[in-house]
Chain A
Amino acid sequence: MTDRQTNLLQGTLDLLILKSLALGELHGLGVARRVEQITRGTFQVKPGSLFPALYRMEEAGWLTSSWGASENNRRAKYYKLTAAGRKQLDAETSEWKRIAVAIGFALQAT
């Protein structure tokens, strides 16, 4: 994420990572690129935020990891959602929607 976005709600990064992994397993750089892609380039996740988040979420049991070969045959660690991770994604998605609606109302209020 760029500096301007570091103040985003805690959990946004988690939600984005969970969402990016929902379609299948990815390695670290892959996660970063997928987040960039699905947010249309608004969020650029830097390794200094990415890796702590990945390890934290793995310890929480939302992700598992395994070593595999990359597209151009490099050894890389691939992250995958667990069942708990999917549940977390659902929970955070609905939570996010609720907040988005609430903030929307708030901003429209006169």
Chain B
Amino acid sequence: MSPFSQTPSRLRSALRNLFTRPHVERELDADVRAYVDLLTDEKVRAGMDRNDARRAALVELGGIERVKDEVREVRTGAVLETTARDVRYAIRTLIRRPGFTVVAVIALALGIGATSAIFSVVNGVLLRPLPYRDPDGLVVILHEGRNPVAPANYLDWKRQSSLFSSFGAAEYWSGTVTGDVPERVQGLKVTSDVLAMTGVRPLIGRSFRADDDATTGDLPIILSWGYWQRRFAGKPDILGTSLIVSGTSYTVVGVMPRGFDFPMFWAPGVQMWTPLALGERASSRQSQSLRLFARLRRDASLEAAQAQMSAIAANLERAFPGTNPAVTVTPLATMVVGDIRTALLVLLGAVGFVLLIACANVAHMLLARASARHREMTVRLALGASRARLLRQLLTESVVLALVGGTLGIALARLGLRTLVALAGTSLPRADAIGLDLYVLAVTTVISLLTGLGFGLLPALRVSRSEMSEALRDGARGSTEGAGRSRIRSILVASEIALALVLLAGAGLAMRSFAALRAIDPGFDPRGVLSAVVSLYGTAEAPPGRRDAFYTSTLERVRQLPGVESASLINHLPIAGDIWGLQFLIEGRPRPRPADVPRSTFRVVYPGYFATMRLPLLRGRDVAETDRADAPRVVVVNDFFARRYWPNEDAVGKRVTFNPAAPAPTWFTVVGVVKNDVQSDWSAPAQEEVFLPYSQEREYLQSDGGHVGYMTLVVRTSCGAVRACNPASLAPAIRDAVGSLDRSVPVTDVQTMEDVITGANARPRFTLVLLATFAAVALVLAAVGIYGVISYAVSRRTHEIGVRVALGASPSAVVRLVVAQGMRVVTVGVVIGLAGALLASRLMTQLVYGVRVTDPMTYVGVAALLGAVALVASYIPARRATRIDPLAAMRTD
């Protein structure tokens, strides 16, 4: 008979066995008992006494339960049923030992929860593909991996390259949309290729077409889903609506789907897209404002594309010297993920260590229990249970424990994840892709199961291998535990110590690194300073002739607000703002080759900026209201600039020019030198920086462009110094002050300088907090491990210690004896851990600042900390050992 023809019958049986179990069990019981009765009758008929006959029948049967068990084993669905029975038994056993269960579940929940949370982040940021069509083919083309490209270069590169199936450019763009509340809206100008190459279709309407790039009349615009909802309440007939952005009329032709964000690594959260028309800029190799995106042809490799682009740029550099610095072709995914990959992988490794420590901990707790259950297991073996059966039941217990811990861990991960994402702030790309999705849950479940098997297998093998003689011996004497098991537990604890030390070393390095970052002097005093962007572009105040007057009136009003000590304006706020550079030459110095002309960051300021920021003037003076457009041009340079170009002279009075190519350059006289401040990257070394007065800066005074249409207000409040308050509490007053001059002028990006700095350090703080948390958990788990092993050893050595005390051992000798046992294990763990930490330290190289990854102080410090904790953890049970009453101890036999 084929197995298939039996299927319906088997299926019925399986269903019946599973769902009518009590009935099936009763029937089996009755069946076997009937057998005994019939057999008894038979023996009585053969002349036996009824009682003897019954006893003989039962002996012949070999035990009613045993027969029933054997039937259960062969029945369809037996595996499920046995498992269900094991699970019920495991739950009962675990409930009977609440102390053990709670500690084990907490340890596992911490390990699994932390792993699950970090894995969610890794999954969202690193593993999930970018939400574009065929995202692996998308590349970003920039100068030196990060600098934008000039229009003429873009056009030449696009024309001359052959390995891309599409090639487009995008430019950052922001404008003011007037209305009840004027607002500054961020957008991108893109060539038609850009949205097309993402493969994401608009939710409604159309994408850009090639002919849009040349449009001159009514410009098409595509809105983000969020802006459509917010500004237009998601009205369905949005297409064709006209929208005035900074005075220009646009027609809405499409809305992108919810959550669409491109290219993520730059200009995140833009709300509108409009075609990029290069116009007369098409021939410029100077204004580098474009970021280029391309899709590799299927048959082209990244290396080939890079080689081709480098060759093209090298040719152009020969034709137009100084215009084509190194070109880089970088996969979009790499740009998006950036250097957080290392941090995340280190964190994933760290969290894996925490999980391993939790496993080791639970494993030796189980081993300790194993001794207590020795007799139970021996009895069950003697009663005929097979070893496999015992092993399965013990493993079921571990897996149940792990799954309970896993469930609790997922709850922890849910809570932790929110904190984690908030902590990371903007330093974590793709934060919206992070979550406990089904994939993460599945992985967590698998991790829990493996964890259960991992920590359960060793103890289970030990226990199920119980020998009756050993059980009798150990159980009766209650002296020292079997040498083998004791060694395994010591190895487990030593491993815990070693893993904990690696984590502590990592956290120690992160902490020292963070301290070094905290110690960086930003140059200015951020406490009590509030900043806000005031945009005139697209408002009634936008005409060049009105802007200076508007800013001046704004400053007058803001300075009069209560709680304001001083106020000034700068074009780009340090750290948070843009970085613009200018080439320059020093008067009287030989002209370098075009490619070697030095560059400096330049900022445009109003008088009082240095005082407001408390950026000390080292020499000379601030820019002043007397530096009018018709007065001699002046500049304030930073200390780095002054020392580099006039190392042994006073920079004040020297002259530089910022249009080195001009036949009759305009000379700027250095009137002051200020301390170096942090320009952009928090930990970057100082670079050249110059400050020009707004009142003399021609581009700012004359251009209509949006790029000079805003300034950043910096306000020093009396918060912090004089009274306890948050500088941000002045934001409404500042908005009102600007609004009282012109209600259409938006005030945006209001943030305290301290928040700006916090944001700049979000990533190291994220790494530090997580590593420190994991290390702390590891330390606690390791301490619990040592405590467990030592107190267990003490309890097993009660008799021996009693004898020693009886023979005159002093309490301190007993303490030494016990602690020494603990410290031997700790020493082994620490030595292995130090070696491991040194090996792992290379991974930290990219993550630390201002401290060597092999910093001896850190290693000695964490080893000492771990040693101290271990000492305390073994001292507590040692103290208990001194209180052993020798008479009672020896009487326990």
Chain B residues contacting A29 (CB-CB under 8 Å) are: 35, 38-39, 42
Given contacts A55-B74, A87-B1, A88-B1, whether A47 and B35 have CB atoms under 8 Å apart is yes
Determine if B9 is an interface residue (Cβ-Cβ < 8 Å).
Answer: yes
Given contacts A29-B42, A55-B71, A61-B9, whether A48 and B37 have CB atoms under 8 Å apart is no
Determine if B30 is an interface residue (Cβ-Cβ < 8 Å).
Answer: yes
| Smallest CB separation, A12 vs chain B (Å) | 16
A99, B6: Cα distance in complex, Å: 25
Chain B, 1-23, CB within 8 A of any chain A CB: 1, 5-6, 8-10, 13
| Smallest CB separation, A95 vs chain B (Å) | 11
CB-defined interface of A14-53 with B at 8 Å, one 1/0 digit per residue?
0000000000000111100000000000000011100110
Chain A residues contacting B13 (CB-CB under 8 Å) are: 58-59
Stretch at the interface among A2-10, A69-77, A101-109: A69-77
Given contacts A52-B71, A55-B75, whether A47 and B61 have CB atoms under 8 Å apart is yes
Chain A residues contacting B74 (CB-CB under 8 Å) are: 52, 55-56
Determine if A100 is an interface residue (Cβ-Cβ < 8 Å).
Answer: no
Q: Are A48 and B75 in contact (CB under 8 A)?
A: no
Chain B residues contacting A74 (CB-CB under 8 Å) are: 34, 37-38, 41
Q: Are B66 and A48 in contact (CB under 8 A)?
A: yes
A58, B35: Cα distance in complex, Å: 17
Chain B residues contacting A27 (CB-CB under 8 Å) are: 34-35, 38
Contact of B62 among A48, A52, A58, A61 (CB under 8 A): A48
Determine if B704 is an interface residue (Cβ-Cβ < 8 Å).
Answer: no
Most buried by A among B10, B28, B34, B42: B34
CB-defined interface of A54-91 with B at 8 Å, one 1/0 digit per residue?
01101111000000001010111100000010011001
Chain A residues contacting B27 (CB-CB under 8 Å) are: 77
Determine if B31 is an interface residue (Cβ-Cβ < 8 Å).
Answer: yes
Q: Are A52 and B73 in contact (CB under 8 A)?
A: yes
Chain A residues contacting B30 (CB-CB under 8 Å) are: 75, 77
Chain B residues contacting A91 (CB-CB under 8 Å) are: 1
Determine if B841 is an interface residue (Cβ-Cβ < 8 Å).
Answer: no
| Smallest CB separation, A74 vs chain B (Å) | 5
Given contacts A52-B70, A72-B41, whether A59 and B62 have CB atoms under 8 Å apart is no
Q: Are B71 and A60 in contact (CB under 8 A)?
A: no
Interface size on A, residues (CB 8 A): 25
Q: Are A48 and B35 in contact (CB under 8 A)?
A: no
Q: Are B1 and A84 in contact (CB under 8 A)?
A: yes
Chain B, 52-98, CB within 8 A of any chain A CB: 60-62, 66-68, 70-71, 73-76
Chain A residues contacting B1 (CB-CB under 8 Å) are: 84, 87-88, 91
Q: Are A59 and B75 in contact (CB under 8 A)?
A: yes
Nearest opposing residue in chain A for B45, CB measure: A72
Nearest opposing residue in chain A for B42, CB measure: A29
Given contacts A52-B70, A55-B71, whether A70 and B31 have CB atoms under 8 Å apart is no
Nearest opposing residue in chain B for A56, CB measure: B74
Given contacts A72-B41, A75-B34, whether A51 and B6 have CB atoms under 8 Å apart is no
Determine if B471 is an interface residue (Cβ-Cβ < 8 Å).
Answer: no
Contact of A46 among B6, B32, B62 (CB under 8 A): B62
Most buried by B among A29, A47, A61, A88: A47
Chain B residues contacting A56 (CB-CB under 8 Å) are: 74-75
Given contacts A56-B74, A88-B1, whether A47 and B32 have CB atoms under 8 Å apart is yes
Most buried by A among B9, B38, B61, B74: B38
Most buried by B among A46, A52, A72, A84: A52
Chain B residues contacting A55 (CB-CB under 8 Å) are: 28, 71, 74-75
Chain A residues contacting B38 (CB-CB under 8 Å) are: 27-30, 70, 74, 76
Chain A residues contacting B71 (CB-CB under 8 Å) are: 51-52, 55
Chain B residues contacting A87 (CB-CB under 8 Å) are: 1
| Smallest CB separation, B536 vs chain A (Å) | 86
| Smallest CB separation, B615 vs chain A (Å) | 87
Chain B residues contacting A76 (CB-CB under 8 Å) are: 31, 34-35, 37-38
Q: Are B62 and A47 in contact (CB under 8 A)?
A: yes
| Smallest CB separation, B551 vs chain A (Å) | 90
A30, B35: Cα distance in complex, Å: 9
| Smallest CB separation, A91 vs chain B (Å) | 7
Chain A residues contacting B28 (CB-CB under 8 Å) are: 51, 55
A81, B71: Cα distance in complex, Å: 19
Chain A residues contacting B62 (CB-CB under 8 Å) are: 46-48
Q: Are A51 and B70 in contact (CB under 8 A)?
A: yes
Chain B, 439-463, CB within 8 A of any chain A CB: none
17 extra A-B contacts, CB within 8 A, seeds A48-B61, A55-B28, A76-B37? A46-B60, A47-B32, A47-B61, A48-B70, A51-B32, A51-B70, A52-B74, A56-B75, A58-B13, A60-B6, A60-B9, A61-B8, A61-B10, A72-B41, A74-B34, A76-B38, A91-B1
Listed by A's residue number, 14 A-B pairs whose Cβ atoms lie within 8 Å are: A27-B34, A28-B31, A28-B38, A29-B42, A47-B32, A51-B32, A51-B71, A55-B75, A58-B13, A61-B9, A76-B31, A76-B35, A77-B30, A91-B1
Q: List the 6 closest A-B pairs by CB distance, nearest first.
A: A61-B9, A59-B13, A76-B34, A29-B38, A52-B74, A77-B31
By a beta-carbon cutoff of 8 Å, the part of chain B in contact with chain A is: 1, 5-6, 8-10, 13, 27-28, 30-32, 34-35, 37-39, 41-42, 60-62, 66-68, 70-71, 73-76
